[in-house]
Amino acid sequence: MQLHTYKLIAALSFSFCLASFFAANAQILNIERARVEQDSANYLTGKLGINFSVYNQNAGKNNPNNYLQFTFNGDLAYVSPQNSYLLINNYNYLLVNFTSEEQRNTVASTGYAHFRVNFLRKRKLSYELFAQVQADKARGLELRTLAGGGLRIAVLRGADVSVYAGTGLMHEHEEWRNLAQEGSGYRIADLVKSTNYISTKAKLSEQLSTEGIVYYQFGYDNNIARMRNRVSGDVSLNVKLNSKFAFRTSFNCTFENRPIVPVTKFVYALTNGIQMQF
């Protein structure tokens, strides 16, 4: 069996292990989604995507809740001779009880914008700086801002398969509301955290590709005199329809062992949609 076949099997195994381990709305930053594996310089590209889902959930006898969910994402990448620049954006909008105008009610509005620079991108050991702003109204996260930097290591870099690992430090500011207690005010956390990830991308055929990422972030909170830990993951499968459009299925999730306010510790999302590349 040829070497590239082993690499494809390894990447597929990694992706499906992610999916099985990280089995609701989650916002996971998949930085590999916007990266461009191009040797050419001064290269500008982008992706636009929309995901849509409709489902219902019983809220009591003869009283189902109906959900309509849209997810929009837009990525922009610029590759210079030495560095790469990524801008990654995601917005999620959820309606509940949309069966009539009287019942329509917005219950979730989440989103983030992330900017990242990869210096000396062609080297096995490169450097990254990043900043992000985020909100998750459905869970009570009014604002999250973070900024930091770190190292990026090319573990495997092939024509069809790549594996990277990253480690660094960041400062994270969060403002939460306890949705279970009206008028409870905000809980604010300012932490210095270690942020670490391992990611992979694999081209399985001319029409099929996959990518995945796992994060582990932790920091010491003086307010509770304990560590706060966060594990998150994202795995996706892309089916190329033509030179511009692709069908995308993704699964992502987050687990936090000690949330700032009482919220569900483990949240996940499975989405399907269309992606356009330009």
pLDDT of residue 104: 53
| Residue 264: DSSP 8-state | -
The model scores a pTM over 0.85? no
**How far apart are the C-alpha atoms of 232 and 265, rounded to whole Å?**
11
Query: Over the stretch 11-57, which tens digit does the pLDDT of each residue have?
Result: 444 444 433 333 334 455 666 665 666 555 677 888 888 877 655 54
Amino acid letter for position 176: W
Query: Over the stretch 176-209, which tens digit does the pLDDT of each residue have?
Result: 988 777 777 889 999 999 999 999 999 999 999 9
pLDDT of residue 56: 52
pLDDT of residue 69: 73
Whether the CB-CB separation of 250 and 238 falls below 8 Å is answered with no
90 exposed, middle or buried (CB, 10 Å; 0-12, 13-18, 19+)?
buried
- Per-residue pLDDT 10s for the chain (278 aa) are 444 544 444 444 444 443 333 333 445 566 666 566 655 567 788 888 887 765 554 444 444 455 677 788 888 889 898 999 999 898 888 776 555 454 556 566 788 999 999 999 999 999 999 999 999 887 788 999 999 999 999 999 988 999 999 999 999 999 998 877 777 788 999 999 999 999 999 999 999 999 999 999 999 999 889 999 999 999 999 999 988 888 988 888 899 999 998 888 888 878 888 888 77
* Domain residue extents for the chain: 3-277
Q: What is the dihedral of CA 106, 108, 109, 114, to 10 degrees?
A: -170
CATH topology of domain 3-277: Porin (2.40.160)
Q: Work out the number of other CB atoms within 10 angstroms of the CB of residue 210.
A: 22
